[in-house]
Structure 1
């Protein structure tokens, strides 16, 4: 597993560089072809490369969901090189989430060798998760439709905890148009986008509801061009996280109800709900199954947590497919200089994943992992 992980980590694949994502996909394709004995479908959507392995010819039963893009720009290996020291693996993207890809291929390869029937298993490795999955969201939902379960190979939470819930994410840009004027000669003739944005920042922040775990965070703010001009245009970025779809919809309605404060100012709202929440009800049956599998293997009982970050598992839970996240590597430091994987924990993570795959496939009617799985492809958002 470490040798395979080294091959993936040393092929840098930042989301914003489509050529690098394509090169990373080639490396993943080589590893997956060797492990599974079959080449993937290469799906290029709006220039972004995604990989899909559909094992067997029967109906889809189980989706293993991964992504191979990272937040790290090309050249990061020069400052954070691949290394394994005292059992700690380091390198850009090792934890989030290239180790999860390695775990998926390792487990399926071993199960194939042991004679497990993997007909109906899909492995999907996307290339744009870190930037909100703009080209892969519909692909993910379509691939999950009809499956009994989705196992998401994102990195674990602290201490190896599984992610049984994730907040939904909404992303907005609020554009303000005012009117320019000379700041010294006739400022009264202007309509300041900066002052309008100051009002809007406070209105946006007031939409948060800490009691319900809803955060509404004004982020990137721009306005104006020169210091002696009343600014005529500006923008505000807004990041929203919510535990429930109802809260996400409430904030969305509030964002769309914003009105200008200054006479003559105009507002334009762009963006919206990006990922629905992965609510704990979506993962409950799979988490219970993970507990049963762990007990049978003599592994520690899994811990489940809800986290603020979203993943592609939010999409699959959002269409009603049972989804369990955080099944990738144990470690820490995602998206930070301290990103690392604990090598000694990889065999246990692989054993848990193998047990879950086997149990889901053995569950003939899907009753053990949830109900209400859709049998028709959903419309896109």
Structure 2
């Protein structure tokens, strides 16, 4: 029986496992919910892999790692179980499967991807030479797990990232680098009606700075500088003494990441008496196309051999932990998880019919990598 057929027979189990994970909510900022989800992922992994994971504590987080076999790891499977969805989201976005579409908070980003990896490994009879790492803070920027990801990836022949596929099932071969900042403005409070001239209006200063920030965007180079969450003031009749804005930066190359960082650090206040305070910086290095080129060719060959649609490669703006594995020199292929869409959005979904083929592709790629000396 061929691999795709065997995976098709696993579909009921795939769906049951995905339901179990999705209905155990795991918002990245809720430690109690994450603890429950961590235990569930560990138990699910033990069922499929026959072994409990190593629980790696980093800061206030616990991450799960399975090292399969006694020898060194050649292939790293990388995923996360935290989501952006707040606790209680199941009430408004319940788990459901209708007309071939699976829905639920975190289903495509990326609980279905974890389930696909577990079934792929089980179908291969848990091959030695593979490490599965599941982290719990990716949606926060991986503040505690970055070092673990980099250390685990170092020396591997390949890192296969279980994030959702790009449009049409494409594999993610290039990711932008990510920088995150918070710009605070310190002004001076005064009564807005009696003597506003005695104050230094932090909201007005922030407006000047937001315009300066957006001017750093360079569409021709793929650079976006986006002010996101903002807040200012303490009451409706007071000149604001403080204001702040979060800034999201995406870049295609390290030179652009450095240029934008330097520009942000050189911002100066416009209003006399105002003061600026910048925190944050580069969070993820860019994942350039050469990091995935050889693995994409291999995935195309494996897919063709299995009779699956040949996957395309896609460059995407979002970051993942694949940025880190590529950053330490490990060949990295991303987007091997579920086919669907709507990550972080109300229409988040997984295409059920694509699950067996995706699991077969993961399993076939792992087997192919273990059979040879490199990508």
TM-score scaled by length of structure 2: 0.94
Aligned counterparts of 2:193 and 2:98: Cα–Cα separation in 1: 62
Given candidates 227, 234, 237, the residue that maps to 1:225 is 234
Aligned counterparts of 2:111 and 2:166: Cα–Cα separation in 1: 15
Partner of 1:335: 344
Given candidates 120, 125, 129, the residue that maps to 1:112 is 125
- 1:201-280 paired onto structure 2 within 5 Å: 201-280=210-289
1:86 aligns with 2:99: yes
Aligned counterparts of 2:17 and 2:358: Cα–Cα separation in 1: 16
Given candidates 149, 153, 169, the residue that maps to 1:140 is 149
Partner of 2:66: 53
Aligned counterparts of 2:229 and 2:346: Cα–Cα separation in 1: 23
Deviation at 1:311, TM superposition (A): 0.9
SS of 2:124's equivalent?
Answer: helix
| Per-residue CA distance 1:52-107 (angstroms, 9 max, x = gap) | 10112222211100101111122222222222222211111111111110111101
Given candidates 4, 20, 44, the residue that maps to 1:31 is 44
- 1:350-365 paired onto structure 2 within 5 Å: 350-364=359-373
Given candidates 307, 310, 314, the residue that maps to 1:298 is 307
Give me the CA root mean square deviation.
1.3
Given candidates 78, 81, 93, the residue that maps to 1:65 is 78
Aligned counterparts of 1:15 and 1:185: Cα–Cα separation in 2: 45
- 1:300-319 paired onto structure 2 within 5 Å: 300-319=309-328
Partner of 1:175: 184
| Per-residue CA distance 1:321-348 (angstroms, 9 max, x = gap) | 1111000011111112211111111111
| Per-residue CA distance 1:237-258 (angstroms, 9 max, x = gap) | 1111111111111111111111
List gaps (5 residues or longer) in structure 1. Answer: 370-381
Aligned counterparts of 1:18 and 1:226: Cα–Cα separation in 2: 33
Aligned counterparts of 2:233 and 2:89: Cα–Cα separation in 1: 34
| Per-residue CA distance 1:340-371 (angstroms, 9 max, x = gap) | 1111111111111111111211222x2xx2xx
Partner of 2:3: none
| Per-residue CA distance 1:121-156 (angstroms, 9 max, x = gap) | 110111111121111111111111111110000111
Aligned counterparts of 2:106 and 2:191: Cα–Cα separation in 1: 49
- Equivalent residue pairs, number: 362
Deviation above 6 Å: which 4+ runs of structure 1?
A: none
Aligned counterparts of 2:341 and 2:226: Cα–Cα separation in 1: 24
TM-score scaled by length of structure 1: 0.92
Partner of 1:9: 22
Deviation at 1:47, TM superposition (A): 2.3
Deviation at 1:182, TM superposition (A): 2.3
Aligned counterparts of 1:28 and 1:184: Cα–Cα separation in 2: 58
SS of 1:44's equivalent?
Answer: strand
List gaps (5 residues or longer) in structure 2. Answer: 1-13
